[in-house]
């Protein structure tokens, strides 16, 4: 075990806060030390980051493989050789009997770049399957698709976070930074201290909205209409930056026509936001000089999420707030490596370097790096929800790495049934998650502090997590697992377990692609506190700010994309008269598989709840803390009432971190965006009643 403080990064969200780890005696395993030199968080950490070492303790995590006993049906300890041989035999057997696409792979947005890259390569080269996707599809895929359409390139933020505090006005859409990324809230605080203005758009008056100069609370699912209404006012009031539109964009006429069909009074009826507030928001943004629009899961996790983000991009382009210093559109990526995770091959339609799997030149380049025939690479597979929905039917065996869809997938009760219907399920994870508990084989893998690897933050900054601790006996890294399985399945070469060796191959595979990491090395990341991609060679400085001279389209122009408002996939009616929206709380992360094992975090947020307005509570005869049943067309959930005026009267909110009867995703709608294949997590029709 190391005896010094090791600089590394938090294991949770895409902010990737810098921290140091110092080994500790006794049950604590390690303690977190502030790392004030890292520019993003400057030493600040949320409760999740401060308590992250608690999940390293033996009592919280897996320390030996588990295999389901054929007689008792229980998971029992097993040796690594037995477990790996069983996995290889069953995956290979499924492939031989039913074809390569009968084997599925489901990855995670928390995997390092090295793991994501190797998992995609393993699926396509060793298993030969097209059926691979990851839970990052549920994170920011709509924003990614909109980025690609408008800018020709997808990077969550095309500028560093430090620019946020120096712009003139920020419109924050569907993001509650105070609870999802607390250390990032300082940038909004500094924005206002510097004289800038903050507009928050959220159906709830969150802790973040309380800091805004202006809060707009639209009905969930109407963000697209809101953006179009604001663009209408930009046009009607003569606020279009005609020079920018003429010289740096294309397609304005179509986008303009779409906006003009959404006049302010119509938008007020659709969204519930009064016309005077719409006008105030446009005046505040356009009068500030520079400006940014930042979106998160609120507008993105909808069946029209790509168009909704596209409408906000159109708003930025029309006002000249893009491709300029201190101005632009950005997406606040949620998962720790949601950005890098989709760039390097675990997404159904992509190859490393953000190359398209359908592009012959991309296939040729990557196949050459991998030493295989381009024709042997399978084509695009199913998106995440569609893959999970196919389990037990077309897909008979599944390998899961770093994901917990039993809690996190929409229509989660159905997905749990599909997982149970599999011929064979293997899960590699650090804890016995709800998904791992269903597996035939569970493989215990190392955690963030016990391994080295790179992550790509929401800024597009490639960072290095460094091993600070020796993993306990009986635990192996995901790379070691894939190396061993590849060998057992006849691929003894090409799957190294050393992360730096994998990263060097990733650099070659990404070279020349949209997400070009060729000039980034471990040594350089350490020396520079991270390197911004694209970085095509070692003499290149990296690219903290994109699009200042040209956009990444063929002609260098940003593209307006015409969009129009449409209703949510499921609207309220007499049987389901209330809208449900979901989100996070500050003390937990994603499905809660890790944070629910930390006593301090559980004490702060011990369980799920249903947030509802006092008038709705009065109609239901519900008081604070009373059990409330929420029912959708997909199932029923129950949790205590939390009564607050901070939410709309026609809306209830549930956090999604818990399994069991309070599982919010039992209710959510898997209706998919036609472009991004993002499910509609953020809006569905429900019935709310006093339970019992």
CA–CA separation, 280 and 260 (whole Å): 18
Is the CB of residue 630 less than 8 Å from the CB of residue 688?
yes
Looking at the structure, do residues 171 and 271 belong to the same domain, yes or no? yes
Looking at the structure, do residues 302 and 187 belong to the same domain, yes or no? yes
DSSP code per residue over 240-306: --HHHHHHHEE-HHHHHHHHHTS-HHHHHHHH---HHHHHHHHHHHHTTSS-EEEE-HHHHSSTTHH
* Listed residue (573, 642, 639, 586) closest to 614, CA to CA: 642
Kindly give the pairing relationship between strand 132-134 and strand 169-173.
unpaired
Within-domain flag for 283? yes
Looking at the structure, do residues 130 and 157 belong to the same domain, yes or no? no
Looking at the structure, do residues 77 and 23 belong to the same domain, yes or no? no
Q: How confident is the model at residue 240 (pLDDT cuts 50, 70, 90)?
A: very high
Q: How confident is the model at residue 18 (pLDDT cuts 50, 70, 90)?
A: very high
Average confidence score pLDDT of the chain: 96
Q: How confident is the model at residue 26 (pLDDT cuts 50, 70, 90)?
A: low
Looking at the structure, do residues 145 and 75 belong to the same domain, yes or no? no
Specify burial of residue 224 (Cβ count, 10 A radius: 0-12, 13-18, 19+): buried
Q: How confident is the model at residue 310 (pLDDT cuts 50, 70, 90)?
A: very high
pLDDT at site 2: 42
Q: How far apart, in Å, are the Cα atoms of 433 and each of 104, 106, 306, 429, 438?
A: 19, 15, 31, 8, 9
CATH (domain of 148): 3.40.228.10
Report angle CA 199, 49, 641 to the nearest 5 degrees.
Answer: 60
CATH (domain of 78): 3.40.50.740
pLDDT at site 1: 40
pLDDT tens by residue, 380-394: 999 999 999 999 999
Within-domain flag for 674? yes
Domain that holds residue 650: 578-690
pLDDT at site 27: 59
> Which residue among 332, 360, 392 closes a domain?
332
pLDDT tens by residue, 450-502: 999 999 999 999 999 999 999 999 999 999 999 999 999 999 999 999 999 99
Is the CB of residue 102 less than 8 Å from the CB of residue 128?
no
Within-domain flag for 231? yes
What's phi and psi for 103, nearest 5 deg?
Answer: -105, 125
Within-domain flag for 567? no
pLDDT at site 613: 98
pLDDT at site 296: 95
Residue 25 pLDDT > 90: no
Reported in sequence order, the residue ranges of 405-559 that DSSP labels E, i.e. its strands, are 424-429, 441-444, 453-456, 461-465, 531-532, 558-559
Within-domain flag for 530? no
pLDDT at site 336: 87
pLDDT at site 100: 98
CA–CA separation, 515 and 512 (whole Å): 8
pLDDT at site 441: 98
Looking at the structure, do residues 195 and 280 belong to the same domain, yes or no? yes
355-364 average pLDDT score: 97
Within-domain flag for 529? no
Is the CB of residue 116 less than 8 Å from the CB of residue 307?
no
Looking at the structure, do residues 326 and 345 belong to the same domain, yes or no? no
pLDDT at site 57: 86
Looking at the structure, do residues 484 and 347 belong to the same domain, yes or no? yes
Residue 3 pLDDT > 70: no
Q: How far apart, in Å, are the Cα atoms of 527 and each of 38, 464, 521, 524?
A: 12, 11, 10, 5
- Composition of the chain by helix, strand, coil, percent to 5: 35, 20, 45
CA–CA separation, 682 and 40 (whole Å): 29
Sheet holding 18-23, edge to edge: 6-9, 18-23, 30-34
DSSP code per residue over 583-608: E--TT--TT-TTGGG-HHHHHHS-S-
Looking at the structure, do residues 275 and 153 belong to the same domain, yes or no? yes
> Which residue among 332, 365, 390 closes a domain?
332
295-309 average pLDDT score: 96
227-255 average pLDDT score: 98
pLDDT tens by residue, 623-649: 999 999 999 999 999 999 999 999 999
Sheet holding 453-456, edge to edge: 453-456, 461-465, 531-532
Token digits for 230? Answer: 């604001």
> Which residue among 332, 354, 376 closes a domain?
332
CATH (domain of 31): 2.20.25
Looking at the structure, do residues 389 and 488 belong to the same domain, yes or no? yes
pLDDT at site 333: 87
575-593 average pLDDT score: 96
Looking at the structure, do residues 129 and 150 belong to the same domain, yes or no? no
Within-domain flag for 533? no
Positive or negative: CA dihedral 51, 461, 367, 361: positive
Is the CB of residue 385 less than 8 Å from the CB of residue 378?
no
Is the CB of residue 310 less than 8 Å from the CB of residue 322?
no
Is the CB of residue 440 less than 8 Å from the CB of residue 398?
no
Within-domain flag for 403? yes
515-532 average pLDDT score: 97
Q: What percent of the chain has pLDDT over 90?
A: 96
pLDDT at site 490: 97
DSSP code per residue over 246-260: HHHEE-HHHHHHHHH
Structural domains of the chain, count: 4
| DSSP 8-state secondary structure symbol assigned to residue 553 | S
Token digits for 426? Answer: 């293997």
Q: What percent of the chain has pLDDT over 70?
A: 99
User: Which residue stretches of 423-538 are H helix?
Assistant: 478-488, 499-510, 522-528
Positive or negative: CA dihedral 72, 73, 75, 77: positive
Residue 271 pLDDT > 80: yes
Looking at the structure, do residues 327 and 183 belong to the same domain, yes or no? yes
pLDDT tens by residue, 54-113: 998 888 899 999 999 999 999 999 999 999 999 999 999 999 999 999 999 999 999 999
């Amino acid at each position: 075990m190391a005896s010094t403080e090791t600089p590394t990064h938090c294991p949770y969200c895409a902010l990737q806060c810098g921290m140091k780890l110092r080994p500790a005696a006794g049950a604590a395993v390690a303690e977190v030390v502030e790392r004030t030199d890292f520019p993003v968080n400057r030493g600040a950490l949320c409760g999740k980051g401060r308590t992250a070492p608690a999940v390293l303790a033996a009592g919280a995590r897996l320390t030996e493989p588990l295999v389901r006993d054929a007689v008792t049906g229980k998971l029992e300890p097993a040796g690594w050789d037995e477990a790996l041989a069983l996995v290889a035999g069953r995956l290979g057997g499924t492939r031989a009997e039913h074809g390569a696409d009968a084997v599925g792979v489901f990855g995670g947005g928390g995997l390092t770049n090295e793991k994501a890259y190797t998992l995609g390569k393993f699926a396509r080269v060793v298993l030969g399957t097209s059926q691979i996707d990851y839970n990052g599809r549920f994170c920011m895929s709509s924003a990614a698709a909109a980025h690609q359409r408008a800018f020709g390139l997808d990077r969550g933020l095309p500028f560093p976070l430090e620019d946020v505090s120096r712009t003139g006005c920020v419109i924050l859409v569907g993001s509650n930074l105070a609870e999802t990324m607390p250390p990032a809230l300082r940038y909004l605080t500094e924005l206002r201290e510097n004289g800038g203005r903050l507009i928050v758009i959220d159906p709830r008056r969150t802790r973040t909205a309380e800091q805004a100069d202006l809060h707009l609370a639209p009905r969930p699912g109407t963000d697209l209409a809101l953006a179009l209404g604001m663009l209408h006012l930009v046009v009607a009031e003569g606020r279009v930056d005609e020079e920018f539109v003429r010289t740096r964009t294309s397609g304005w006429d179509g986008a303009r026509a779409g906006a003009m069909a959404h006049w302010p009074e119509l938008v007020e009826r659709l969204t519930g936001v009064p016309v005077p507030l719409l006008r105030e928001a446009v005046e505040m943004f356009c009068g500030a000089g520079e400006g940014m629009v930042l979106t998160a899961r609120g507008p993105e996790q909808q069946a029209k999420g790509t168009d909704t983000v596209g409408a906000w991009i159109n708003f930025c382009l029309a006002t000249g707030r893009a491709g300029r210093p201190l101005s632009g559109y950005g997406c606040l990526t949620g998962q720790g490596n949601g950005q890098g995770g989709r760039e390097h091959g675990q997404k159904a339609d992509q190859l490393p370097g953000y190359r398209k799997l359908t592009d012959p030149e991309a296939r040729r380049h990557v196949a050459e790096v991998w030493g295989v025939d381009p024709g042997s690479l399978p084509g695009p597979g199913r998106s995440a929800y569609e893959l999970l929905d196919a389990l037990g039917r077309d897909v008979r065996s599944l390998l899961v790495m770093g994901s917990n869809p039993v809690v996190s997938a929409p229509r989660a009760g159905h997905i749990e049934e599909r997982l149970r219907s599999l011929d064979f399920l293997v899960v590699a994870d650090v804890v016995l998650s709800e998904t791992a508990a269903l597996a035939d084989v569970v493989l215990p893998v190392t955690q963030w502090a016990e391994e080295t690897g790179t992550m790509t933050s929401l800024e597009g900054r490639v960072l290095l997590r460094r091993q600070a601790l020796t993993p306990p006996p009986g635990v192996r890294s995901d790379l070691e697992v894939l190396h061993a399985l590849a060998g057992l399945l006849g691929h003894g070469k090409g799957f190294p377990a050393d992360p730096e060796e994998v990263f060097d191959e990733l650099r070659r595979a990404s070279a020349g692609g949209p997400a070009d990491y060729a000039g980034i090395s471990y040594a350089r990341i350490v020396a520079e506190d991270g390197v911004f991609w694209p970085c095509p060679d070692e003499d290149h400085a990296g690219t903290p700010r994109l699009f200042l001279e040209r956009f990444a389209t063929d002609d260098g122009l940003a593209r307006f994309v015409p969009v129009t408002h449409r209703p949510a996939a499921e609207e309220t009616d007499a049987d389901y008269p209330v809208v449900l929206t979901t989100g996070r709380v500050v003390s937990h992360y994603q499905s809660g598989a890790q944070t629910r094992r930390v006593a301090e975090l559980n004490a702060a947020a011990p369980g799920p709840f249903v947030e509802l307005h006092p008038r709705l509570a009065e109609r239901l005869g519900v008081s604070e803390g009373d059990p409330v049943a929420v029912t959708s067309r997909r199932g029923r959930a129950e949790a205590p009432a939390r009564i607050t005026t901070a939410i709309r009267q026609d809306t209830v909110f549930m956090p999604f971190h818990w399994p069991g009867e309070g599982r919010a995703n039992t209710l959510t709608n898997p209706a998919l965006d036609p472009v991004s294949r993002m499910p509609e997590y953020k809006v569905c029709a429900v019935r709310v009643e006093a339970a019992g």
